[in-house]
Amino acid sequence: MCKVTGFKVTWLLALATALVACSRPAPPAEPIRAVKVVTVGLHGTSGTLEFAGEIRARVESQLGFRVGGKLLARAVEAGQHVKAGQVLARLDPQDLTLATNAARAQLAAARSSLDLATADLKRHTELGNQGFIGAAELERRDAVFKAAQAQFEQAQSHLAAQSNQADYAILRADAPGVVTAVLAERGQVVSAGAPVLQLAHDGPRDVVFAVPEDKVAAITTGTPAQVRVWSTDAMFKGVVREVAASADPVTRTFSVKVALRAEDDLALGSTVTVMPAALQHAGTPVIKLPTSALWQQGQASAVWLFEPASMTVKPQTVQIATADGNDVVISDGLQPGMQVVVAGVHVLAPGQKVMLYQASKLIDTASQAQTVPGASAHAR
């Protein structure tokens, strides 16, 4: 009996030992992570806003025939310089010539009718003076004469208009310039007014560029702008001449034209960089942070605020205005004096205990705010 009992006790001890060995160990305490923080301050922006633009003629016109017909010949090509009055293209004049001949024949018939009515009125006037015909007959002859005269004048006007129609079959340059586009080819039937060629007139040049809708309100006509030619880095001065009243339906941007000086004869189509003075904010006091401080919280951007009293972190949603070099400009969500984590942001949790990797250094905002406050100070 005692042997059996001793065996059971031994078996129970072995089972307890096995159960203790198989149980999971207690999870280790979460380590206190070291973080690097900066104290938010103000600093002047250093970046500038630049826009890609293109050199265009101040006056560009799309030339077309004032009558319809078949394009018989085109005398110029794209890129060719033309003089005022130079023939650019011709329509098939056959139908217009026939119509002119018909109008000329109608004028000849009207002239014959007028001559006959004139002679008839003269003869009846002499008879009326001699008392051989009454006043009523004389008035009837006078009315016939006036009708013939009106028909003759009508035929004259019709011939003149038809002659103009024939002349409209020849397309001439209305000013000296460069052909920038060919919109119709030989053999094509064009309607009256349809563009056939595009002509960039000689003279002053404009820089055309697009501005997003959040920036266009700052640009007004008359404000200066700097223009840099991409190929040569040459700098030119310009003035905003025109701002589009509505956005482009495709790009949703606003077209802006900067007028260059008359002596700045730049090649059409040249690529330039435009720096409007109204959008240059170098030195403006803003809050800046390095991009390493940002993390995504849902659909918004956020940073971790360090609370020295509890040595914990908490999330803070921020609004990003723009980029300035390797930093981002914060427009909302932070105030000078706050401490923000700039390293290790993706392994933190709200309320997590942390320790400082390196003490942050507060920017002396008092001296900088007088000129250009701007960004968060980086701990060193």
Structural domains in the chain, sorted by start:
33-47+283-368 (2.40.420.20), 48-91+172-280 (2.40.30.170), 94-167 (1.10.287)
CA–CA distances in Å: residue 362 to residues 59, 336, 340: 56, 9, 12
Averaged pLDDT of the chain: 82
Residue-wise pLDDT for 317-332, tens only, equals 998 877 776 788 888 8
- Flag the least confident range among 29-43, 265-279, 365-379: 365-379
Strands of 261-345, DSSP E: 271-276, 285-290, 295-297, 300-307, 312-324, 327-332, 339-343
What is the C-alpha separation between 51 and 250, in angstroms, rounded?
18
What is the C-alpha separation between 305 and 341, in angstroms, rounded?
6
Q: Which residues, 6 or more positions from 292, have their beta carbon under 8 angstroms from its beta carbon?
A: 342, 343, 345
297 touches 333 (CB < 8 A): no
Residue-wise pLDDT for 194-251, tens only, equals 999 999 999 889 999 999 988 888 899 999 999 999 888 899 999 999 999 999 999 9
229 touches 270 (CB < 8 A): yes
Residue-wise pLDDT for 85-119, tens only, equals 999 999 998 888 888 889 889 999 999 988 988 98
**Whole-prediction pTM value?**
0.54
Average pLDDT over residues 55-66: 92
